[in-house]
Amino acid sequence: MNLRIKPIGVIKKSSSGLSDVIIYSDFEQVLGNILEKFEKGANLLIVHKNDNIKDNHQVQVSGAELINRKGNLLTVKGIEADNDSVIDIRLCNINLI
């Protein structure tokens, strides 16, 4: 079975072990209520896909800590990804880092 999943954003490696999660503007309204709840220090679960990996584990779920949020730009620490497509992002009630 092949699923086509439309990404809602992208992860870009930043400096000092941080990453930027950029939510595409098309999805800002859909995620608006969720994004409003994201505060500094919040634990997030980020579902992402690396198109360059051609194995059975293309989709990953990573825990990350929110460092800063400016609109649709989330700066996080604790995620090992670069140029991955963001599929979903949620608040997490447990400390994963």
**Distance between CA atoms of residues 89 and 86, nearest Å:** 8
Task: Please tell me the predicted confidence (pLDDT) of residue 97.
Answer: 52
Judge whether residue 48 has pLDDT over 60. yes
Dihedral over alpha carbons 43, 50, 60, 87 (to 10 degrees)? 60
- The answer to whether the CB of 63 falls within 8 A of the CB of 44 is yes
Judge whether residue 95 has pLDDT over 70. no
Task: Please tell me the predicted confidence (pLDDT) of residue 4.
Answer: 76
Judge whether residue 96 has pLDDT over 60. no
For residue 57, name the pLDDT band (cuts at 50, 70, 90): low
Task: Please tell me the predicted confidence (pLDDT) of residue 20.
Answer: 95
**What is the chain's mean pLDDT, rounded?**
84
- The answer to whether the CB of 78 falls within 8 A of the CB of 11 is no
Task: Please tell me the predicted confidence (pLDDT) of residue 16.
Answer: 85
Domains of the chain from N-terminus onward: 9-92 (2.40.30.70)
Amino acid at 15: S
**Distance between CA atoms of residues 71 and 22, nearest Å:** 9
pTM for the whole structure? 0.82
25 class by beta-carbon count within 10 Å (0-12 exposed, 13-18 middle, 19+ buried): exposed
